[in-house]
Amino acid sequence: MPRTGWAPAARFVRACAWATLAGGLTACGGRTAPPPEPGTTRGPAPDLRGRTAMILPFQQVVGVPGDIDAELAFALGARGEGVRWVPPADLDRALARSPSLQTRTRGLPVGQFLAAEVLRIGDPLFGEIFRLSSLVDAQAAVLPVQATLVREPDATHPRVRLTVALIEARSGIVGWFGILEGEPHPVDDPRLLASAVDQVVRNLLWYTLPRAGAS
């Protein structure tokens, strides 16, 4: 199970986010907080029901087999009822119809997410997200930062580690962020990828899970 290593104080996060400079990717309090540990999240994620959320492709993929973009998009679409999802393939088609729009879905500058705690994004990433969201009328953006195949020294099989952010497309506020790992499986076992995607979906769509004691 993921650890919630950061306090989910939404008002504090919002206040810090608005206080940051729009020109950068910064942490709160005028200092750079260290990156989170694997298995941690900052949340909970906002309820996306009734909204449009675009799903970008993974920006960095290191050793992960299979089509991670399609796997995540399918899982969110299947389990995220009440949300209008715009998967990567639809984003690419929309961009192809608007060649004059100066934006892209791949090769985005996301390295800061791997180096520090980010509460609000600035340019150039914010501009890219904002223009994409305007193209498909999305209020939120699922930004998969990195997918990595992790081989621990004493483990028989590897795990997949996924780093994902949920961004308010019109303000740049990072509403949720997680570095989550799936279960260990052989590299040719579909459960290797599916279990990692499941962790991300469960955290993003926590409000759709059955509550303890519910009939």
Which residue segment(s) compose the domain that 114 sits in?
10-208
Q: Which of 198, 160, 171 is nearest to 63 (CA)?
A: 160
- Confidence tier at 105 by pLDDT (50, 70, 90): very high
Within a domain: 92: yes
* Token pair recorded at residue 152: 């621990």
pLDDT of residue 30: 39
| Residue 5 lies inside a defined structural domain of this protein | no
102 found inside a domain: yes
Residue 111 has pLDDT above 80, yes or no: yes
Of all helices (H) and strands (E), which one includes residue 77? helix 68-79
Asked whether residue 139 carries a pLDDT value surpassing 80, the answer given is yes
- Within a domain: 114: yes
CA-closest candidate to residue 74, choices 158, 183, 204, 197 = 197
Q: Cis peptide leading into 2, omega within 30 of 0?
A: no
Would you say residue 2 has pLDDT above 90?
A: no
**The two three-digit tokens of residue 47, written as one number:** 């309820």
Residue 4 lies in a domain: no
Q: What is the pLDDT of residue 32?
A: 66
Residue 102 confidence (pLDDT) = 85
- Asked if residue 42 belongs to a domain, the reply is yes
Average pLDDT of the residues in 142-168? 95
Residue 2 lies in a domain: no
Task: Kindly indicate the confidence band of residue 211, based on its pLDDT and cuts at 50, 70 and 90.
Answer: low
Cβ atoms of 28 and 155 closer than 8 Å? no
Distance CA 123, CA 22 (A): 7
The pLDDT score that the predictor gives to residue 42 is 85
Q: How many CA atoms lie within 13 A of 183 on its CB side?
A: 7
Cβ(98)–Cβ(105) under 8 Å? no
| pLDDT: which is higher, 175 or 12 | 175
Q: How many domains does the chain have?
A: 1
pTM of the full structure: 0.83
pLDDT at residue 108 greater than cutoff 50 = yes
Indicate the helix (H) or strand (E) that contains 68: helix 68-79
Residue 131 lies in a domain: yes
Average pLDDT, the chain: 85
Over residues 4-54, the pLDDT tens digits come to: 443 333 333 333 433 333 334 444 433 567 767 888 888 789 999 999 999
